[in-house]
Every structure is written in C-alpha cells, then in structure tokens.
C-alpha cells in the first residue's frame, strides 16, 4: 500500500466526520498552544533576563569589598564568653553574633583591605580578566579663578552610560589617560554657560585638589548648626575649620552641671580604636577636560549594579587606572585600600571558582550570577509548571482521541470488513487508524503553533506595556522565542501522543473479524 493512499484514506475518514474531527483536534490544539506558548515564553524570559544581565557584562563581574569582620583572636577573650544555660548550638550562634556585632562596633577600617598588593593578588587569580577599583572621592576643582567642592568618580573607558550622555568632546579612549570628563552642571556652576563656552573649555586644564583623611570635615559644623548652605568656598571652609578646632576649648562655657561636663569630657577623651591614625594628606593634580556629559534622564538605562546610582551623583570622572594610580600611593589607600573593586572574569562559568578564591582571601564578594541562577531556576520551574499543565491538556486530548476513535472503529466495522475482504492486511487497517491519530496530532499541533505565533504580537505588546508601567523600561527583545527545536518538537510531540492514543483503536480495528464485520449493519 502506498503512503499517499494511506494518508488519503486517513484524511478522507477525518474529513467525513468534520465536527468530530474539529472537536478532537481542538483539544490537541489547546494543549499544543499552551505547551508551545509556555515553553516559548520560558525561553523568551530566559533570553531577556540573560540579555539584561549580560548587556554590560554584569554576569562576568564580581564586586569585591574589603573584609570588615574581625578575626576571633583579635577580640578580647572576655567579650567572647557567652554566659547562661543554653544548648551548644545556641551558644555557638550567639558567639557568632557577638563576633559580628563586635566587628560592626569596633572595626572602622577594614581588616582585609583592598590594598595595591591585594589588588595584584586578585589580578593573578586564574580567569580574572581585569580589575576596576571603585574610586569615589570628594575634591575641590579649580578652573581659571573659580572653584567648587565636587565628587570625583573613576570610570572605565567602556562605560556606556556615560558615553551615551556625552554632549561635547570625547570620552576616555583608555583607562590610563590624564584627562577628566565633567558634568555640564559643574561647568554651569563654574560660569561656563552656553554651548559655545562648553565647547571652548575642552582641552583646558582642570585642577583637582584632594584632602584625604579629614576625620572632621568643616562641613559637619554647617550641618550641626542647621545652616542652609550646601557648598562652601575654599575661604569659608578655612573659617569653619578654625571654628571647629576651638570648639573643644569652649566646653567649660556650656550650661552643664559639673557631673555632666565630666561625662562629656569622658566621651570626648575616649581614645580612637585604630592603632595608628593616618595623618591628613592633601595633594592636587591638573587634568585635561576631554568631554562633557549631560544630566541623566529617565531614558538613561542606569542600573544600580554598575555603580549607576553613584555615577549619577558625581561631577568629575577620572579614567579608572589613572584614578587607581592617583590614590593607591596615598597614605590612606596604602593603609586601608580601596572600598571595593570590580573583578571582571573571562567567562560566566568561571565565576564560582574565582569567588571561591576571593572568599579564601578573607574578602567579601557579591556577584549577580547567584541572582541570575536563581531567576533562571524560577523561570525553568514556572515553565515546567505551565508545560506540565499543557502536557496534561494534551493527555486529556489524547484520551478524547482514543474514545472518539474507538467509536469510529465501531461505526466503520463494515468498511473495515470490506477492506479486509478485498485484500487489506491487518497491518493496513492498523496503519490507517494510526495515521488518523497522527494527522490529528499534526493538524492540532500545527494550528497550536500558529496560534502561539499569532499570540506573540499582542503578547509582547501587553508585556511591554506592563514593563513600562512597572519599571519605566521597554522590552528590548520579544518574550516569545520560537527556536527550531521547539517549532519542530511540539508538533512532533503532539503527533507522538495522538498516535499513541490511536494505538488501542487501531489494534482493535485490525482485529475485526471480516465475516462478522460484513454482517454488521
């Protein structure tokens, strides 16, 4: 028997029972649609999440912070004594809490600082591509005869957020230039107003003056006295500093009892925990103004992860290696190191290994890979849940097919008998019914895919509107992804399930006794 005839006979049989075929196929269509759509969205969400996590290489980055947790040996033994009756497990938990709280109260500078030597050690870890130390330092800028207190920040040359905000000049071409990029607002404050003036400032020198380890900033006095001023000139700062230095000598003039004055003296005379206070250190350097960035807008895709929020508040940007070189040699950084450093790893799969080694160095670390993996797990679980429901729908549809086809065998008993009488083999009859089942799966699966494909357009539009409403961001890619394996796999699965559903009726049809069948009315 020819395959084309087999298909034709099966199709004719299905066509003769249009309503029944449509209803039976509808079940398969619904199951295939749900399965296809859920798997497609699962893949799409996974893709969107991966895209979001990788578009700025965040997945390959580990944020490393100095270790602030005190070592047990450095904590006074009496502080570690846990008194009272309790279980050993609870005693150990309380002891760990004591160590943690002791560290928070007593450790002001890192126990494991991110010094230059430690950065070198981090860079030597296998799979580490590069280090981007985080520098965020207040300074005073001088341009011509004007100055302003600002915040400087280090930025890698490939910082797309800042590049996108460039309105004049260029961004850094390397991480080690002697140049700065400044905010247009800073220029405005310094009297550079019009666009022409802004263009004119490019290439000029901007002097940055840093005063490190000022434990008592004069600005504190402004805050203490509840002044409305937010920025001080250099001269004003000097006056405030002078006033601050005299405050301890004025305590006797306060309206306090002798006991209260004694308490105050005791508090103020408490020695600092740090063994060797670092002396104040000031230095300055001139940099060429290379570019100007505009104020950020809501459209700027700035995430908290890549220091975006901090970058927003800075007015002056230094190339990351230049900043590292600038500060690494200062007494403060030599002693206490950088607050944090971004470790860029060559591939996502090597993150875990690098993290393990960083932890071994006593440093604190944080990477998005764990969150990404968690999200990925959630997506997979959700996809599995919807896929499972779809499979149940397909199974129910399959049971419907079995039932319908068993009825079909009964109704077509005589036809089966005639076919056998004129030379059909049992196998021919069986095949005809199996092909009918398979065709229901193929048609249902095909229509299900088509509907899923159709649903992608309004589905994406709806998801995008939800995204905009909740996050203000647009979808960057479709949530419906139809890879080849899925486009072929779902109808094939539908065909498999419906063909299996047809096995019982097909065997029953093949076993029909032709003599009884020919007598059947």
Partner 1 sequence: METGRPDNRDLVVRVVDVVKSYQSATAPVHALRRVSTEIGQGERIALLGKSGSGKSTLLNLLGGLDRPTSGNIWVYGRDLAEMSGNELARYRLLSVGMIFQSYNLIPSRSALENVELPMVFGGIPPRNRRQAAQHALEAVGLGQRLHHHPNELSGGECQRVAIARALVNRPKILLADEPTGNLDTATSSAIIAFLISYLCEHGTTLILVTHDEDVAGRCADRILRMQDGCLVM
- Could you say whether residue 160 binds partner 1 (CB under 8 A)? no
Q: Which of residues 172-191 bind partner 1 (CB under 8 A)?
A: none
Instruction: Name every residue whose Cβ is closer than 8 Å to that of residue 7 and which is 6 or more positions away in sequence.
Output: 435, 439
Binding track, positions 19-38, relative to partner 1; x by CB under 8 A: --------------------
Torsion sign (Cα): 428, 430, 433, 434:
negative
Q: Which is nearer to partner 1, 254 or 422 (CB)?
A: 422
For the record, the structure tokens of 483 come out as 């890879």
Give dist(CA 74, CA 103) in Å, integer. 10
Binding track, positions 414-433, relative to partner 1; x by CB under 8 A: xx-xxxxxxxxxxxx-----
- Could you say whether residue 395 binds partner 1 (CB under 8 A)? no
Give dist(CA 204, CA 189) in Å, integer. 17
- Among residues 182, 199, 145, the alpha carbon closest in space to that of 287 is found at 182
Quick one: which segment of 4-12, 258-266, 289-297, 366-374 binds partner 1 (CB under 8 A)? 4-12
Q: Please classify residue 87 by burial: count the beta carbons closer than 10 Å to its beta carbon, then call 0-12 exposed, 13-18 middle and 19+ buried.
A: exposed
For the record, the structure tokens of 464 come out as 């995008």
Q: How much is the CA Rg of the chain, to the nearest whole Å?
A: 37
Q: How far is the CB of 9 from partner 1 (least distance, A)?
A: 7
Q: Which is nearer to partner 1, 19 or 484 (CB)?
A: 19
- Could you say whether residue 295 binds partner 1 (CB under 8 A)? no
DSSP class per residue in 363-424: -EEEEHHHHHHHHHHHHHHHHHHHHHHHHHHHHHHHHHHHHHHHHHHHHTHHHHHHHHHTT-
Helix H or strand E encompassing 487: helix 484-501
Torsion sign (Cα): 255, 256, 261, 264:
negative
Q: How far is the CB of 440 from partner 1 (least distance, A)?
A: 19
Which of 5, 72, 79, 260 is in the footprint of partner 1 by CB under 8 A? 5
Q: Which is nearer to partner 1, 423 or 458 (CB)?
A: 423
Side-by-side strand order, sheet with 128-134: 128-134, 340-345, 61-65, 364-367
Q: Which is nearer to partner 1, 326 or 429 (CB)?
A: 429
Q: How far is the CB of 439 from partner 1 (least distance, A)?
A: 17
CA distance readout (Å), 246 to 213, 241, 278, 286: 20, 9, 22, 34
Binding track, positions 302-341, relative to partner 1; x by CB under 8 A: ----------------------------------------
For the record, the structure tokens of 416 come out as 């089966």
Q: How far is the CB of 2 from partner 1 (least distance, A)?
A: 6
Give dist(CA 27, CA 398) in Å, integer. 8
Q: Which is nearer to partner 1, 105 or 425 (CB)?
A: 425
Q: How far is the CB of 5 from partner 1 (least distance, A)?
A: 5
Q: How far is the CB of 498 from partner 1 (least distance, A)?
A: 23
- Could you say whether residue 349 binds partner 1 (CB under 8 A)? no
Q: How far apart are the first and last CA of the chain?
A: 27
Q: How far is the CB of 453 from partner 1 (least distance, A)?
A: 35
Quick one: which segment of 103-111, 120-128, 396-404, 413-421 binds partner 1 (CB under 8 A)? 413-421
Q: How far is the CB of 444 from partner 1 (least distance, A)?
A: 23
Q: How far is the CB of 7 from partner 1 (least distance, A)?
A: 12
Q: How far is the CB of 412 from partner 1 (least distance, A)?
A: 9
Q: Which is nearer to partner 1, 372 or 431 (CB)?
A: 431
Q: How far is the CB of 404 from partner 1 (least distance, A)?
A: 17
- Could you say whether residue 515 binds partner 1 (CB under 8 A)? yes
H-assigned helices in 412-425? 413-421
- Could you say whether residue 508 binds partner 1 (CB under 8 A)? no
Quick one: which segment of 73-81, 142-150, 379-387, 510-518 binds partner 1 (CB under 8 A)? 510-518
- Could you say whether residue 514 binds partner 1 (CB under 8 A)? yes
Q: Determine the Cα angle at 77 with ends 71 and 81, to 5°.
A: 110
Site size for partner 1 (CB under 8 A): 24
Quick one: which segment of 141-149, 215-223, 411-419, 466-474 binds partner 1 (CB under 8 A)? 411-419
Quick one: which segment of 8-16, 42-50, 102-110, 302-310 binds partner 1 (CB under 8 A)? 8-16
Are 207 and 286 spatial neighbours (Cβ–Cβ below 8 Å)? yes
Task: Extract long-range pairs of 479-482: CB within 8 Å, 24+ residues apart.
Answer: 479/41, 479/44, 479/45, 479/48, 480/37, 480/40, 480/41, 480/44, 480/452, 480/453, 480/455, 480/456, 481/40, 481/43, 481/44, 481/47, 482/36, 482/40, 482/449, 482/452, 482/453, 482/456
- Could you say whether residue 2 binds partner 1 (CB under 8 A)? yes
Q: Which is nearer to partner 1, 336 or 420 (CB)?
A: 420
> Footprint of partner 1 on this chain (CB under 8 A)?
1-2, 4-5, 9, 12, 16, 414-415, 417-428, 514-515, 518
């Amino acid at each position: 028997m020819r395959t084309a005839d087999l298909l034709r006979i099966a199709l004719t049989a299905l066509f003769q029972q249009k309503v029944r075929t449509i209803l039976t196929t509808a079940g398969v269509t619904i199951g295939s649609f749900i399965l296809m759509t859920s798997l497609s969205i699962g893949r799409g969400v996974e893709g969107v999440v991966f895209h979001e996590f990788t578009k700025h290489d965040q997945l390959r980055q580990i944020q490393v912070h100095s270790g602030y947790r005190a070592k047990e040996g450095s904590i006074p033994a009496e502080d570690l004594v846990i008194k009272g009756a309790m279980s050993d497990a609870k005693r150990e938990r309380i002891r760990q809490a004591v160590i943690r709280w002791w560290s928070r109260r007593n450790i002001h500078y890192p126990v494991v600082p991110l010094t230059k030597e430690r950065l070198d050690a981090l860079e030597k870890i296998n799979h580490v591509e590069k280090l981007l130390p985080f520098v965020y330092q207040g300074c005073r800028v001088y341009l011509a005869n004007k100055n302003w207190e600002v915040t400087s920040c280090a930025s890698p040359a490939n910082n797309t957020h800042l590049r996108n905000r460039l309105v004049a000049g260029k961004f850094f071409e390397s991480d080690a230039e002697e140049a700065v990029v400044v905010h247009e607002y800073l220029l405005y404050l310094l009297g550079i107003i019009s666009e022409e003036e802004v263009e004119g400032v490019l290439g000029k020198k901007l002097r940055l003056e840093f005063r490190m380890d000022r434990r008592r900033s004069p600005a504190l006095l402004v805050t203490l006295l509840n002044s409305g001023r937010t920025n001080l000139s250099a001269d004003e700062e000097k006056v405030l500093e002078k006033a601050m230095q005299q405050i301890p000598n004025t305590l006797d003039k306060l309206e306090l009892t002798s006991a209260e004055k004694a308490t105050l003296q005791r508090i103020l005379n408490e020695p600092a925990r740090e063994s060797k206070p670092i002396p104040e250190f000031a230095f300055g350097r001139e940099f060429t103004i290379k570019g100007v960035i505009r104020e950020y807008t809501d459209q700027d895709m700035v995430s908290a992860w890549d220091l975006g929020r901090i970058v927003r508040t800075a007015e002056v940007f230094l190339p990351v290696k230049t900043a590292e070189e600038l500060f690494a040699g200062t007494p403060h950084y030599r002693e206490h190191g950088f607050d944090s450093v971004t470790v860029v790893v060559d591939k996502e799969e090597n993150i875990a290994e690098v993290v393990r080694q960083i932890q071994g160095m006593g440093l604190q670390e944080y990477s998005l890979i764990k969150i990404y993996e968690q999200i990925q797990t959630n997506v997979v679980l959700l996809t599995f849940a919807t896929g499972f429901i779809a499979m149940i729908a397909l199974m129910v549809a399959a049971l419907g097919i079995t039932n319908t086809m068993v009825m079909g065998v009964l109704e077509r008993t005589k036809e089966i008998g005639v076919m056998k009488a004129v030379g059909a083999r049992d196998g021919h009859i069986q095949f005809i019914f199996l092909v009918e089942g398979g065709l229901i799966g193929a048609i249902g699966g095909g229509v299900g895919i088509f509907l899923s494909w159709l649903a992608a357009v309004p589905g994406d539009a709806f998801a995008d509107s939800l995204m905009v409403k909740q996050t203000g961001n647009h979808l960057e890619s479709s949530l419906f992804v139809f890879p080849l394996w899925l486009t072929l796999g779902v109808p094939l699965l539908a065909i498999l399930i419906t063909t299996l559903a047809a096995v019982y009726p097909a065997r029953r049809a093949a076993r029909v006794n032709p003599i009884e069948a020919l007598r059947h009315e």
